[in-house]
Chain A
């Protein structure tokens, strides 16, 4: 009798401990690996400036800001993925299939190729593109019934926006292509503290909005009919949540490009860690797991074929789609979405 709460308590605690440990391990690895490899034991010495200046610069000026940006970008994408999935009640409602990511990337690419001077670039065009892509999809699917129909229309719109992006790439001068490739596949290459200073505050501003979106999620969970019966507008709630989702995705795509499919896997992982929990709990887990996912993928991108850096967005696309499908295929809601 006494055991029962203890066991559930342990069960509740185990994932927290696991996540905390892997977070520490990942952070340490991200700071230590590269050239030169720094033994974890020497990290304090390097950080306090007792080691060589070069090592300090590597860790403090290169690896630390990159780690930070990876964490924040992943957290934002994880949160955005959960919001989109919950609001459309479809595990496949992800930024990549709603035209949000490709809209943002296409807008930034066009600004770069045609040399349009936009204040607040690349964030403002990314935001505008994400909003346009999302709005197009929402408009197009308004009368569509069934998650698969929504998904296919979204995929087609994403494909169209991707084509716009590719047109931009093929029109660009060879010297712009290095930058544009980032918008085909997200990348964290070249992150410094100045990148972090210009991007992370925006993410910090937007992340709390997810908490504001939670009540709207509650309304949507009731189902459209029940919500209407209670005098609540499901449509307005959905638009509000989607708007927050677009905002979140744009803050990442602007500086880093589309780090693809993180918003698909992170919520799935969150659901398997806390099955049967509230959306609120999933939101927290999805945020944390998204952060870890991007950090881990970036670590792989940096070290797998060292010294060649893979674009992190390509890795996340491979890992997250395969992993997400494997996880989700066992869940009833996913099967419903497919059938």
Chain B
């Protein structure tokens, strides 16, 4: 019996070790709240072959890049915004979305291999002069890709950073007027939306992805969560300093916040006959959420809402969000 107790004591110590290994969640600061008015004009922009991106990474090119290969949704978006067409993409689904190139995008060559493990040879064969990937996903390809073209790893966490990336690429390619015009288009749409919200009782919204079994939430430190926090009351702060673990919200917490509007994307088995809104309505737990009761669960395009990171996608997201939630 004493041996058993020793074992139990050892087992009890395990969680301590475990929890010591993980990042402690930071405090939940207030989120949502007052949003300052959005500036509608863009600052002037100069062409340059050397830029510093919003994360402090410097990038120098010999000549304005013309053949840009896109491994990240941000790239497809800002390349199209600048009036160019990617030399290759690994996000054909996003590129052919009507908000970007539509059917015209289907002529763009698709990079072989899965997301994050793109075949470097098929990238090189496209003869790129710039490759844009996603931080934390494409780092491993850097050594090989950079033998052919600079690899620019991007990850906008806010819409301001997304704009900064747009301006960066505008400078590099020399397409400064396209960049500032695109910036102003987006700023106008966002500013209109924010003004519309002012003076009204804000609705509580949440953007989530996954399936009923495993739900991820776009928290306020993610690009889309940050954007939606401008339009709605969005009480889903990041849970820890680690952006990646921050998206894990338990269903109990979602329930506690009682969202009025739920946007969902990228659901497994989404081709199923039963749409998720119906699945949620049939589910006794989710029925307790006002959004489900009111039928305010909206299924959004997973390509646009999941992978879209540039101004075109964000403009479309803001428009779709407002369209789905007409104010009273």
Question: A contacts B directly in the complex (CB < 8 Å)?
Answer: yes
Contact pattern, B 184-211, Cβ under 8 Å of A = 1, otherwise 0:
0000000000000000000000000111
CA A178 to CA B283, docked complex, whole Å: 20
Residue B263 interfacial (CB < 8 Å): no
Residues of chain B at the chain A interface (Cβ within 8 Å): 3-4, 6-8, 10-11, 14-15, 18-19, 22, 25, 114-115, 117, 209-216, 239-240, 245, 248-253, 255-256, 258, 266-268, 283-285, 288, 302, 306
CA A173 to CA B266, docked complex, whole Å: 10
B47 to chain A, nearest CB (A): 36
**A58 B255 Cβ-Cβ under 8 A:** yes
Chain A residues lying within 8 Å of B213, measured Cβ to Cβ, are: 178-179, 182, 189-190
Chain B residues lying within 8 Å of A310, measured Cβ to Cβ, are: 18
Chain B residues lying within 8 Å of A112, measured Cβ to Cβ, are: 268
Chain B residues lying within 8 Å of A57, measured Cβ to Cβ, are: 255, 284-285, 288
**A272 B14 Cβ-Cβ under 8 A:** no
Chain A residues lying within 8 Å of B240, measured Cβ to Cβ, are: 308
A202 to chain B, nearest CB (A): 18
B205 to chain A, nearest CB (A): 19
22 contacts between A and B (CB under 8 A): A34-B252, A35-B253, A35-B256, A36-B256, A57-B288, A58-B252, A61-B284, A62-B255, A170-B114, A174-B266, A175-B267, A179-B268, A189-B213, A189-B214, A190-B215, A300-B15, A305-B25, A308-B25, A319-B14, A323-B8, A326-B10, A327-B3
Chain B residues lying within 8 Å of A315, measured Cβ to Cβ, are: 18
**B306 A304 Cβ-Cβ under 8 A:** no
**A309 B250 Cβ-Cβ under 8 A:** yes
**B14 A318 Cβ-Cβ under 8 A:** yes
CA A194 to CA B283, docked complex, whole Å: 8
Chain A residues lying within 8 Å of B239, measured Cβ to Cβ, are: 307-308
Known interface pairs A61-B288, A189-B213; 11 further A-B residue pairs with C-beta atoms within 8 A, sorted by A's residue number: A35-B256, A57-B288, A62-B255, A171-B114, A173-B115, A174-B115, A269-B4, A272-B3, A302-B250, A306-B250, A309-B250
Within 8 Å by CB of B252, from A62, A176, A194, A269, lies A62
CA A238 to CA B14, docked complex, whole Å: 36
**B214 A175 Cβ-Cβ under 8 A:** no
CA A181 to CA B210, docked complex, whole Å: 12
Given known pairs A54-B256, A181-B214, A190-B212, the reply for A323 and B10 (CB within 8 Å) is yes
**A190 B253 Cβ-Cβ under 8 A:** no
| Interface residue tally for chain A (C-beta within 8 Å) | 45
Across the interface, name the chain B residue whose C-beta is closest to A57.
B288
The 7 A-B residue pairs with the shortest CB-CB distance in the complex, in nearest-first order: A178-B214, A190-B213, A175-B266, A61-B285, A57-B288, A308-B248, A326-B7
A243 to chain B, nearest CB (A): 29
Chain A residues lying within 8 Å of B15, measured Cβ to Cβ, are: 300, 304
Across the interface, name the chain A residue whose C-beta is closest to B258.
A54
CA A307 to CA B253, docked complex, whole Å: 8
Given known pairs A61-B285, A193-B284, the reply for A304 and B19 (CB within 8 Å) is yes
Chain A residues lying within 8 Å of B211, measured Cβ to Cβ, are: 178-179
- Interface majority SS on B: helix, strand, loop or mixed? mixed
Residue A53 interfacial (CB < 8 Å): yes
Chain A residues lying within 8 Å of B4, measured Cβ to Cβ, are: 269, 272, 327
Given known pairs A175-B267, A326-B6, the reply for A319 and B255 (CB within 8 Å) is no
A155 to chain B, nearest CB (A): 23
Chain A residues lying within 8 Å of B256, measured Cβ to Cβ, are: 35-36, 54
A199 to chain B, nearest CB (A): 13
Chain A residues lying within 8 Å of B10, measured Cβ to Cβ, are: 322-323, 326
**A307 B255 Cβ-Cβ under 8 A:** no
Across the interface, name the chain B residue whose C-beta is closest to A325.
B7
Given known pairs A322-B11, A326-B6, A326-B7, the reply for A175 and B284 (CB within 8 Å) is no
B206 to chain A, nearest CB (A): 14
Residues of chain A at the chain B interface (Cβ within 8 Å): 34-36, 53-54, 57-58, 61-62, 112, 170-171, 173-176, 178-179, 181-182, 187, 189-190, 192-194, 269, 272, 300, 302, 304-310, 315, 318-319, 322-323, 326-327, 330
Within 8 Å by CB of A323, from B11, B117, B209, B306, lies B11
Chain A residues lying within 8 Å of B8, measured Cβ to Cβ, are: 323
CA A304 to CA B266, docked complex, whole Å: 29
Chain A residues lying within 8 Å of B284, measured Cβ to Cβ, are: 57, 61, 192-193
A311 to chain B, nearest CB (A): 10
CA A61 to CA B282, docked complex, whole Å: 13
Chain B residues lying within 8 Å of A61, measured Cβ to Cβ, are: 284-285, 288
B5 to chain A, nearest CB (A): 11
Given known pairs A54-B288, A326-B6, the reply for A179 and B302 (CB within 8 Å) is no
Across the interface, name the chain B residue whose C-beta is closest to A191.
B213
**A308 B245 Cβ-Cβ under 8 A:** yes
Given known pairs A175-B209, A178-B211, A318-B18, the reply for A35 and B7 (CB within 8 Å) is no
Chain B residues lying within 8 Å of A62, measured Cβ to Cβ, are: 251-252, 255, 285
Given known pairs A192-B284, A305-B22, A322-B14, the reply for A179 and B214 (CB within 8 Å) is yes
CA A53 to CA B256, docked complex, whole Å: 11
CA A323 to CA B7, docked complex, whole Å: 6
Chain B residues lying within 8 Å of A272, measured Cβ to Cβ, are: 3-4
**B210 A175 Cβ-Cβ under 8 A:** yes
**B248 A309 Cβ-Cβ under 8 A:** yes
Q: Give the one of A170, A178, A309 with max B CB within 10 A.
A: A178
Across the interface, name the chain B residue whose C-beta is closest to A112.
B268
CA A173 to CA B216, docked complex, whole Å: 16
Chain A residues lying within 8 Å of B266, measured Cβ to Cβ, are: 174-175
CA A192 to CA B211, docked complex, whole Å: 14
A48 to chain B, nearest CB (A): 17
**A175 B268 Cβ-Cβ under 8 A:** yes
A120 to chain B, nearest CB (A): 15
B160 to chain A, nearest CB (A): 25
Chain B residues lying within 8 Å of A174, measured Cβ to Cβ, are: 115, 266
Chain A residues lying within 8 Å of B283, measured Cβ to Cβ, are: 192, 194
**B11 A319 Cβ-Cβ under 8 A:** yes
Q: Give the one of B7, B216, B255 with max A CB within 10 A.
A: B7
B207 to chain A, nearest CB (A): 14
